[in-house]
Amino acid sequence: MKKKFILEGLGCANCAAKMEKAIKELDGVREASVNFITTKLIIDGEDEKMPEIIQAAEKIIKKIEPDTVMKKA
Amino acid sequence: MKKHLWRIIIGTAVFIAAIAVGSDIKWLQIALFAASYIVAGGDVVGKAARNIIRGKVFDENFLMGVATIGAFLIGEYPEGVAVMLFYQLGELFQDYAVDKSRKSIASLMDIRPDYANVKKGDELIKVDPDEVRVGDIIVIKAGEKIPLDARVIEGSSMVDTSALTGESALREVDVGSDILSGCINVNRVITAEVTKEYEESTVSRILDLVENASSKKSKSEQFITKFAGYYTPVVVLVAVFLAFVPPLVINGAAFSEWIYRALSFLVVSCPCALVISIPLSFFGGIGGASRKGVLVKGGNYLEALARTEIMVFDKTGTLTKGVFNVHEIHAEGISAEQLLELAAYAESYSNHPISASLQRAYGKEIDNRRISEVEEISGHGVSATIDGKKVLAGNIKLMDKMNIPCSREELAGTVVHVAVDNVYAGYILIADEIKADSAQAIKELKAADIRQTVMLTGDNRNVGAKVAKELGIDKVYAELLPGDKVEKLEELFSQKSARGKIAFVGDGINDAPVLARADIGIAMGGLGSDAAIEAADVVIMTDEPSKIATAIRVSKKTLRIAYQNIVFAIGIKITVLALSAFGLASMWAAIFADVGVTVIAILNSFGALNVKNL
């Protein structure tokens, strides 16, 4: 299942790269990409694990850039 | 952003005041410097503290905080404040630049329809295109974007496809025509039945493609991500080493001097310039190409395009129109019109494409009463009685079979020989037409440093050679079966250099295996053809081969900008690092190497968006 999110307030490109790397390493994630320019996060992961993946991704984002808000696209 | 700007202005004013006061009243000057620092950089230090509590150490706030507070502690007050001021100014610039590039990319992809007018009874309701279902009836007024793929059920109008194809050509639509989302209805109201939901509609698929293109990263982007991962820790480690080791080892070295150098290191330690500008260049290139009607499915493909050495074309449908027309009428003993008339009549019962092109060229109604005793001679042609005369029309084998001497000239195309009452009357040459811009495309590709152009075709040798010669193509392989095309492509792989790439251009329908085998598969005529969009790495929305040259030029420009940024940013940073390690560069140079370079690199990558003259 592919889910799309908008990262509001994403201001630092290096942070975007770090988020992408951390989310990719989450359990059940097949592919993840953070696009700094369109501020979009796309997660492709296993259906059953999606709720946990989204929660974990939110945590990662908050930790790397506290001012960024993850919104459903 | 405004608040940010005011803080910088006030901070600067206080900073100037501090310098004006001079070092005569030492306590006042220090107090003013401190005040300026707090106004300008308080939030940076705050953020750094917050992040440390969260367990995140090496972020830019922390590094800047350490660098500036460190400067204060060793008595370099003006430097400490100035670095913070410039850092903030740079951040402001950077935010502005990023914002601007986000906006220009958004406008580049401004083909997303905002609403659809759905007809419910006699009422028109404006709804989000997302909510429209297949079978709903929508009304598109003049000047509006077509929101979803649909079929016209009422009215006729002209639609502008330029947002999808990069070409401002108008297309006429009528009842029964399929219309594609993203186009603009130009002059009259049309009513249409939705054939695809928004997610599946052309506009949504194209936007998805372009946005997702950034997940397939180019080698340069991968390199930068890796580099950034090592760069900061290494620079910080060296800074720590510089701060403590030399003063302990070297006799008479002052701590403050070495700490100053170490702090300069920290200022340069953020890899932001690279991390922002490289993906931005690629994204700009992909966005710019899409504006030209060329969809590139990833940064990696854009990079590969720029390295293409051998460009391989399919012939029919790619370089030629794939439509067969009468090219030449060579009549003997009768007039050309008579010959065409006889051939058109003789072939009128056949549904072969050759017959269709004869009918088209003849252009008049066939009067069935004039024709009788039609007989198809399989693999040879037809025999028929027209106006009481026995007419034979077919290939050279038919003439040989009937012992009729005929022209044996080798021609490029399909030849229909005609005999009347067993006397040769001449031949009609039917051939595929070369697209108007094919020759131009080959010329432009050569100008763009494509080393070799190759054509593959299932057609016969004569036709292949003639087309290749006319277009200036270097090499042609003819009479190939579909399977042979992959084999020929494999052969070509040995002729390129190690870093060079091979691209194959086809219509995306019959040549999927070849498209897949090439380094880059390019499909033509993507507009409205899902198969072509699916199969290829690069999709040309129109039927014009010259767009391939455009794609190559966009890719080369993008890569050039990306490399410029890599070399420039890494070059300046390393130079400044080296100079400050030896005490030759001040913190001022360091702040330029950080913020200045980022801003310049971002501005440079803006260039990739500009594809107007490509």
Domain boundary among B504, B527, B553: B553
Q: Average pLDDT of B520-537?
A: 81
For testing contact with chain B, the best of A38, A40, A42, A60 (most B CBs within 10 A): A38
Least confident range of B32-36, B139-143, B348-352, B596-600 = B348-352
The C-alpha atoms of residue B538 and residue B300 are separated, in whole angstroms, by 11
CB contact under 8 A, B272 and A14: yes
Element (H, E) at B290: helix B272-291
More confident residue, B280 or B528: B280
- Residue B261 has phi, psi (to 5 degrees) of -65, -40
| Residue B224 forms part of a structural domain | no
B279 touches A at CB < 8 Å: yes
Is pLDDT at B309 greater than 90 in this prediction?
Answer: yes
Is the pLDDT reported for residue B380 higher than 90?
A: no
pLDDT of residue A68: 86
User: Which one-letter amino acid corresponds to residue B307?
Assistant: R
Total domain count, chain A? 1
Q: Does B120 touch chain A (CB under 8 A)?
A: no
The DSSP call for residue B99 is H
Could A66 and B272 be called an inter-chain contact, meaning their C-beta atoms sit closer than 8 Å? no
Instruction: Tell me if B276 and A36 make a contact (CB, 8 A cut-off).
Output: yes
In a domain, B47, yes or no: yes
Contact list in A for residue B215 (CB cut-off 8 A) is 31, 33, 35, 42
- Please check whether residue B59 is in contact with residue B52, taking contact to mean a CB–CB distance below 8 angstroms: no
The answer to whether residue B264 sits within a structural domain is: no
User: Between chains, do A35 and B215 touch, taking CB under 8 Å as contact?
Assistant: yes
Q: For residue B1, what are its two tokens? A: 């952003």
Contacts A17 to B, Cβ<8 Å: 225, 228, 275
Sheet with B520-523, side-by-side order of all strands: B294-296, B538-540, B520-523, B501-506, B308-314, B452-456, B475-477
Higher pLDDT, B554 or B25: B554
Confidence of residue B150 (pLDDT cuts 50, 70, 90): very high
User: Which positions in chain A have a beta carbon within 8 angstroms of at least one beta carbon in chain B?
Assistant: 11-17, 21, 31, 33, 35-40, 42, 63-64, 66
Q: What is the pLDDT of residue B483?
A: 79
Q: How many CB atoms lie within 10 A of CB A47?
A: 8
In the three-class reduction of DSSP (H, G, I as helix; E, B as strand; rest coil), residue B490 is classed as helix
Shared domain for B429 and B328, answered yes or no, is yes
**What does the pLDDT read at residue B1?**
64
Which pTM value belongs to this model?
0.81
- Asked whether residue B248 is assigned to any structural domain, the reply reads no
3-state SS assignment for residue B520 = strand
Q: Is the same domain home to B310 and B383?
A: no
- Residues B312, B447, single domain; the answer is yes
One domain, residues B51 and B190: no
DSSP for B228-278, please give it. HHHHHHHHHHHHHHHHHHHHHHSTT--HHHHHHHHHHHHHH---HHHHHHH
Q: What is the pLDDT of residue B352?
A: 76
How high is the pLDDT of residue B528? 66
Chain B residues touching residue A15 (CB < 8 angstroms): 59
Together in a domain, B361 and B508: no
Q: Which of A13, A16, A37 sits opposite B105 (nearest CB)?
A: A37
Decide if B269 is inside a domain. no
Residue B474's pLDDT is what? 94
Closest residue in A to B272 (Cα–Cα)? A14
Kindly calculate the radius of gyration of chain A based on its CA atoms and give it in whole angstroms. Answer: 11
Residue B408 located in a structural domain: yes
Band (pLDDT 50/70/90 cuts) for residue B92 is confident
pLDDT of residue B209: 80
Of the partner residues B95, B102, B225, the one whose CB lies closest to the CB of residue A17: B225
Q: How far is B278 from chain A (nearest CA, A)?
A: 10
Residue B564 to residue B562: CA distance in whole angstroms: 5
Find, among B294, B293, B286, B295, the residue nearest to B163 by Cα. B293
Residues B375 and B452 in one domain: no
CATH number at residue B473: 3.40.50.1000
Distance CA B335, CA B249 (A): 105
pLDDT at res. A57: 93
Q: What does the DSSP 8-state code read for residue B200?
A: G
Residues of chain A positioned with their CB less than 8 A from the CB of B271: 14
Q: How confident is the model at residue B403 (pLDDT cuts 50, 70, 90)?
A: confident
- Which of B538, B458, B469 lies closest to B503 in space, CA to CA? B538
- CATH code for the domain of B335: 3.40.1110.10
Please check whether residue B211 lies inside any domain of the structure: no
Residues 90-109 (B) with a CB less than 8 A from some CB of A: 95, 98, 101-102, 105-106
Which chain B residue lies closest to A59 (C-alpha atoms)?
Answer: B54
Same domain, B442 and B404: no
Mean per-residue pLDDT over chain B, rounded: 87
Q: Region B265-271: what's the mean pLDDT?
A: 84
Q: Residues B158-184: what's their mean pLDDT?
A: 86
pLDDT at B163: 80
Residue among B215, B228, B283 whose CB faces A14 most closely: B228
pLDDT of residue B499 exceeding 80, the answer is: yes
Q: CB-based burial of residue B439 (10 Å sphere; 0-12 exposed, 13-18 middle, 19+ buried)?
A: middle
Alpha carbon of B208: minimum distance to chain A alpha carbons (Å): 11
CATH number of the domain enclosing A38: 3.30.70.100
Boundaries of domain holding B420 = 321-433
Question: What CATH number does the domain containing B186 carry?
Answer: 2.70.150.10
Residue range B254-282: average pLDDT?
A: 84
Identify whether residues B105 and B183 lie together within a single domain. no
Of B98, B214, B271, the CB nearest to A33: B214
- Pair (B498, B531) in one structural domain: yes
Lowest mean pLDDT among A10-14, B153-157, B332-336: A10-14
Instruction: Please check whether residue B529 lies inside any domain of the structure.
Output: yes
Provide the number of CB pairs (under 8 Å) joining chain A to chain B: 59
pLDDT of residue B522: 94
Say what percent of chain B tops pLDDT 70: 99
Instruction: Give per-residue pLDDT as tens, B40-91.
Output: 888 888 888 887 887 766 777 888 888 888 888 888 888 888 888 888 888 8
Q: Is the pLDDT of residue B203 over 90?
A: no
| B423 and B501 fall within a common domain | no
- Is B296's pLDDT higher than 80? yes
Q: Which of B150-164, B349-363, B560-574 has the lowest mean pLDDT?
A: B349-363
Residues B302 and B364 in one domain: no
Task: Give the domain extent around A62.
Answer: 2-72
Looking at B391, B414, B433, the residue that finishes a domain is: B433
Domain count, chain B: 4
Query: How large is the ipTM?
Result: 0.74
Same domain for B540 and B464: yes
Q: Which residues of B touch A64 (CB under 8 A)?
A: 56
Return the residue in B276, B283, B599, B609 with the most chain A beta carbons within 10 A, the one to mutate for interface testing: B276
| Mean per-residue pLDDT, B413-429 | 89
Residue in B with minimal Cα distance to A65: B51
The one-character DSSP state at B224 is H
Contact (CB<8Å) B279/A33: no
Active site residue B95: no
CA distances from B582 to B136, B326, B338 (A): 73, 79, 93
- pLDDT at residue number B371: 86
| The one catalytic residue among B149, B314, B511, B543 | B314
B62 Cβ under 8 Å from any chain A Cβ? no
B270–A14 C-beta distance less than 8 A: yes
Pairing of β B116-120 and β B414-420: unpaired
pLDDT at residue B520, as a whole number: 94
Structure tokens at B568: 């420039």
CB B371 within 8 A of CB B382: no
